[in-house]
Chains A and B, each alone.
Chain A
Amino acid sequence: MGWTFNNPLFSLTTEDQNKEAKHVWEHESLGGIAENNNPLPRPVIGLLLLTFATAIAITFPLYGQRPTAAIYLDYVSLMNSTMVQEVMNDRTISHHEANTKAMALITDSLTQFDSKYTFQREQHPIDLDHLRVIAPQIIELQKAGADLEEYIVVGPDVVISNFFNIQADGTVLAKQPWWDKGYLIAFWYFIGFCLAVIVAVKRLPHFSWRPDHTIAH
């Protein structure tokens, strides 16, 4: 197990051991099968790096997460306003038409002022029937002084979310951190994997060496 660190990107193995490995490689037939010593083609290396970038990008928390109750608080307030209630209770039009008209009023009103939830609202549109179901739960939580960003909407229920964002003082916030610790683990895990594989392949004879298969076969 001779190691050398003089030129780690070229080889981590001493010349003697490389010589021995080359001898075995060329003189041994593994059931009539031979192996070449080619490196990964460069486009494939690029593809693998792209895979890692894609893995992080496509799984980023913004995509596919459940909505927090906080993004619907303004919807609930507007739903309970006189203007919207009048439309909702208008008996001259159908239930569906009333719903559509009332929701249009709510969304129009919401566009009048800036909100940090604009993007999330576009990600998680809601209809009036759904809003009616979750509204009492949101009002109840608001009265209790809860932080609505710690609650998510799962179908008809508003429940505490399952984020465990541990603060410096030891308290746990059930809020999505901007950078989930799962990603942090994945990042270091990937780095560890790359280092281990680089060490494994750099222990082999350098890829510029081509084995002669005519010796054993």
Chain B
Amino acid sequence: MLKYLFAKEENIPQGTAAIFFGVSSIAWFIIGSGLGSFNAAKLAFPDLYHGLYALQFGHMRQVHVHAVIFGWIAMAFAASMMYITPALGNTKLWSEKLGVWNCLLYNVGLCLALALLWAGVTSGREYSDHIWPIDLYIAFVMVVPWCLNVWMTIINRRTQGIYTTNWFFAGCMFMTVVVFLVGNMPEWLHLTGLNEAYMTWWFAHNVLGLLITPVAAAITYYIVPKITGNPLYSHRVGHLHFWSIVVFYSTPAAHHLMSSPLPEWLKSFASVEGVLILVPAVAYVCNILLTMQGRWSMFVENIEIKFTITGVLLAIPLNMQGGFQQTRAINWYIHGTGWIVAHAHLALLGFSTFAEAASVYYGMQVLLRRKLYSASLANFHFWMLLIGFSLYWVSMTISGLIQGAAKIYEVPYVDVVIAEHPYMIVRWIGGTMVFFGNIIWLYNMVMTARAGDIVPVGRQPAEVAYTR
């Protein structure tokens, strides 16, 4: 990386920034899932470790969350945008040099942010845990240069039209900047009470709804037609998806606070909008699955399609849960339980992660012009991720239902802890499988860069995946 920091723009090979972001994202995924595994072990075996205060659950939880969101997910998004955006505009990235600097400063900033969280320096607000200097750093050093590269690449495209994926990339980056600056108002302006609670969950909801979910969807809009060779089923359904995300995903923040003294009309509005999240979900899933027509064999044969379509299929339970669990009739039961933890992992470790993994797999092969070092290891990674995630999701969902019942029937807390113990162990096993799967993934990608077979000019990696 260092040699490109001060190189001239024309001397930096295309795709350099995407590769750096891609490798960083895998490394952060290992760190994030490792921290998650450690945290899960603490919940399964509370007496496991009593040493350093900084390694206790209260400190480690935020570090895990932010390592995964800002490290793995956001950097995989950056990697994807840095190669997909120019590809769709038949052009090159606006500035590889800016991308390389962006990647370096992103990693530095993330290390600093996580170190502070680890040390207990936090705003105390879930998902917007960082203190304001770190928030400013994230906004103006990590995110704005990234946006600039995406927007300028789209502006400088060599096509008249803009493909669906690039609408999402440009729109979501714009909305993310707004969400980040407005959502952190409690930190800038020291808002307290309900204002603080509302803005905190407005931020948390919209980071999920206007960045993570739609960008993951945008990636699949690229990967599926690109690899299958099928045209996207419908441009107009893409419109429905994009605008319904903007309209319905941006408004239901109050449904995170259904038991709070927020005005009831605001909760009613948020709750209706919460169910209407199913509109973009139905449009999106329908569009992608119909694009697969005649190419379903690739769901078995092709590793990127396997990851992508698994992610798309996981979007179905994700949105069904998300749409209904926030209604008053259901929320009173599952609020504050492991069900919500399971749902959050369905979004981030399920739908989103599978889409991003596909994108990083595909992007690295295309940019390095090398086919995967080992398809078997990639399949192993897929199954470790899918089985590990499934164990986690199912065990935490059951655990959440137990907690919900215990909450309603006022079962003593210690009895709930005992009842949940087996599910906490399964959660830890699932999370640990994801962690080990990711180590294999990093090995596979490093070996791909070093020893992967060259992909012939004019061919796609997917076309030569099984040729020797």
Interface residues of A (CB under 8 A from B): 24-25, 28-41, 44, 47-48, 51-52, 54-56, 58-59, 61, 63-65, 161-164, 176, 180-183, 185-186, 189-190, 193, 196-197, 200-201, 204, 207, 211, 213
Interface size for B (C-beta < 8 A) is 60
B160: A residues at CB distance < 8 A: 24, 28
With beta carbons under 8 angstroms apart, the residue of B225, B279, B327 that contacts A58 is: B327
Please pick, from B243, B244, B265, B275, the residue contacting A54 in the complex, using a CB distance under 8 A: B275
Residues on the A chain within 8 Å of B328, using CB: 59, 63-65
Q: A25-B161, A30-B88, A65-B328 are in contact. Are A183 and B268 (CB under 8 A)?
A: yes
Interface string of B263-279 (1 = CB under 8 A from A): 11111111111111011
Given the interface contacts A204-B236, A207-B236, does A34 sit within 8 Å of B225 by beta carbon? Answer: yes
Given contacts A30-B159, A38-B233, A40-B240, whether A186 and B247 have CB atoms under 8 Å apart is no
The one of A31, A35, A47, A65 that contacts B90, using a Cβ cutoff of 8 Å: A31
Residues of A within 8 A of B240 (CB): 40, 197, 201
Known: A33-B88, A38-B237, A40-B234. 5 other contacts (CB 8 A): A35-B238, A52-B276, A58-B329, A163-B263, A193-B248
* Chain B residues positioned under 8 Å from A40 (CB to CB): 234, 236-237, 240, 283, 286
CA distance A188 to B164 in the complex (A): 27
- Interface residues, chain B, CB within 8 Å of chain A? 84, 87-90, 159-164, 222, 225-226, 231-240, 243-244, 247-248, 251, 258, 261-276, 278-279, 282-283, 286, 290, 323-324, 327-332
With A48-B282, A197-B243 known as contacts, the answer to whether A29 contacts B90 (CB < 8 A) is yes
A9 to B207 Cα, complex, angstroms: 36
Contacts of B272 in A (CB 8 A): 55-56, 59, 182-183, 186, 190
Closest to B247 in A: A193
* In the bound complex, CA of A181 to CA of B403 (Å): 33
**Highest count of chain B CB atoms <10 Å: which of A52, A64, A204:** A64
Can you show 25 pairs from A to B with CB atoms below 8 A apart?
Answer: A30-B159, A31-B88, A33-B88, A34-B231, A34-B232, A35-B163, A35-B164, A36-B235, A38-B236, A38-B237, A39-B234, A41-B286, A47-B282, A52-B279, A59-B272, A59-B327, A164-B264, A182-B264, A182-B269, A182-B271, A183-B268, A189-B247, A197-B244, A200-B239, A204-B236
Q: For residue B266, which residue of chain A has the nearest CB?
A: A182
Q: Which residues of A contact B162 (CB under 8 A)?
A: 30
A162-B262 contact in complex given A33-B222, A55-B275, A63-B327, C-beta closer than 8 Å: yes
Contacts of A29 in B (CB 8 A): 90, 159
Chain B residue contacts of A64, Cβ below 8 A: 258, 327-332
A140 to B137, CA, bound (A): 55
| Nearest opposing residue in chain B for A65, CB measure | B328
* B268:A51 contact, CB within 8 angstroms: no
Chain B hits for A61, CB < 8 A: 264, 268
Interface centre among A24, A31, A40, A200 (most CB of B within 10 A): A31
Contact A201 B159 (CB under 8 A): no
Top 5 nearest A-B pairs (CB, nearest first) are A64-B328, A182-B268, A55-B275, A182-B269, A182-B265
| Chain B residue at minimum C-beta to C-beta distance from A54 | B275
Tell me how far the C-beta of A80 lies from the nearest C-beta in chain B, rounded to whole angstroms.
26
A200 vs B275: C-alpha distance when bound (angstroms): 23
Evaluate contact between A58 and B324: CB separation under 8 angstroms. yes
Asked if B265 and A37 make an inter-chain contact with CB atoms under 8 angstroms apart, the answer reads no
Contact A55 to B234, CB < 8 A, known contacts A44-B282, A48-B282, A182-B269 = no
Which residue of chain B lies nearest to A37 when distances are taken between CB atoms in the complex?
Answer: B235
Cβ-defined contact, A31 with B265, below 8 A: no
A207 to B238, CA, bound (A): 14
Q: Tell whether A59 pairs with B261 under 8 Å between CB atoms, given A36-B232, A36-B233, A193-B243.
A: no
Q: Are A33 and B231 in contact (CB under 8 A)?
A: yes
In the complex, how many angstroms separate the beta carbon of B43 from the nearest chain A beta carbon? 27
**A34 CB contacts on chain B under 8 angstroms:** 225, 231-232
